[in-house]
Structure formats: structure tokens, C-alpha cells
Structure 1
């Protein structure tokens, strides 16, 4: 299962890299992409030409539990 998760995560990141702006803006300029077969998502922001993935977050947790863990440079 770990290998399948890693492969899906890598594929999701590749898709995100190619199409970051198709995901709607949520709060504070943050967007989100869901993994297809695992209950995880990647919250991310776009700064200039760079896509910053803020976390690999589980869907059953509070939607913003990871915010306190993000680096200050992205706050």
C-alpha cells in the first residue's frame, strides 16, 4: 500500500505542476487537490511561478489542522 500511495502522490503532484490554476481558490489564496483513491489532499498556494504544497492532509481531520505546521515563509 505504501508504494501505491507514493505513486499516486507523485502522479497528483505532476498533474498539479502542469495545471495548478484549474483548482478553485479557497481561503487565504489556498487551493486544494485531492488524491484519487486515498483520503488525502494537498493544500497548495501559487506564488509567482511557483506552486507550494503546504501539506499532505487527511480528509477526516479538521480542514485546517496543518496550518500551524507550515513554514513562516508561506504564512
Structure 2
């Protein structure tokens, strides 16, 4: 059974901002970025516990060919929430306040 993957609203906006950034460079690059994000969602949904943890239940997946990391954590036994689509070299940990209580 696949795990549902949902985005925190700020993480969704980060994805859209990054996609627009790559679209400004090249439509082809933007499509590759989009595919990389979709692939990461598939990886998370088919085995969320297989990826390394950062802190507590928070885990991450690096995007292939792009300097972005997806941070996520379980919300329920069959759902995880993406907390951030973060550039790997900018402002580490800025998204930590997004964790559900």
C-alpha cells in the first residue's frame, strides 16, 4: 500500500518558486526538475521509512540532478507531509517550525 504524500502550503510554494526559476532558465530544465520532484514523491510514497532521518521522525530525500532536498515526516500511519522543498545550500533548518504539534 502506498503512503499518501501531502505538501505543507509553504513547501508547495517553494516547489512552485523553484519550478519558475528553472522555467526562466529553460523549459527543458524545468521539466527535468518537475520529473525529479515527481520521482521523489513516488519514492517517499512507496517507502517513507527507507530514507535517512534528520531529527526525530523527520526524513529527507535529495532530488536527482538538482540541489534540492525534500524534508517530510509522518502525519498518520498512511500519510506523510512534505515540510520543505529546500535548496541544499541555503538557510538550513529554516523550515523546522512547520512541524505539526
TM bucket (normalised to shorter chain) is 0.7 to 0.9
Query: Following the alignment from structure 1 to structure 2, what is the Cα–Cα distance between the partners of residues 54 and 38?
Result: 18
Question: Which residue does the alignment assign to 2:34?
Answer: 6
User: Which consecutive residues of structure 1, in runs of 5 or more, have no partner in the other structure?
Assistant: none
Is 1:20 equivalent to 2:48 in the alignment? yes
TM-score by length of 2: 0.64
TM-score by length of 1: 0.83
> Which one has the bigger strand percentage?
2
Could you give the per-residue CA deviations for residues 15-73 of structure 1, whole angstroms, max 9, x where no partner exists? 110011011222132111100100001000013211111110000113201234x3x7x
Q: CA RMSD in A?
A: 1.5
- How many positions carry a matched residue from both structures? 72
Question: Which residue does the alignment assign to 1:57?
Answer: 86
User: Which consecutive residues of structure 2, in runs of 5 or more, have no partner in the other structure?
Assistant: 1-28
- Which has the higher Rg, Structure 1 or Structure 2? 2
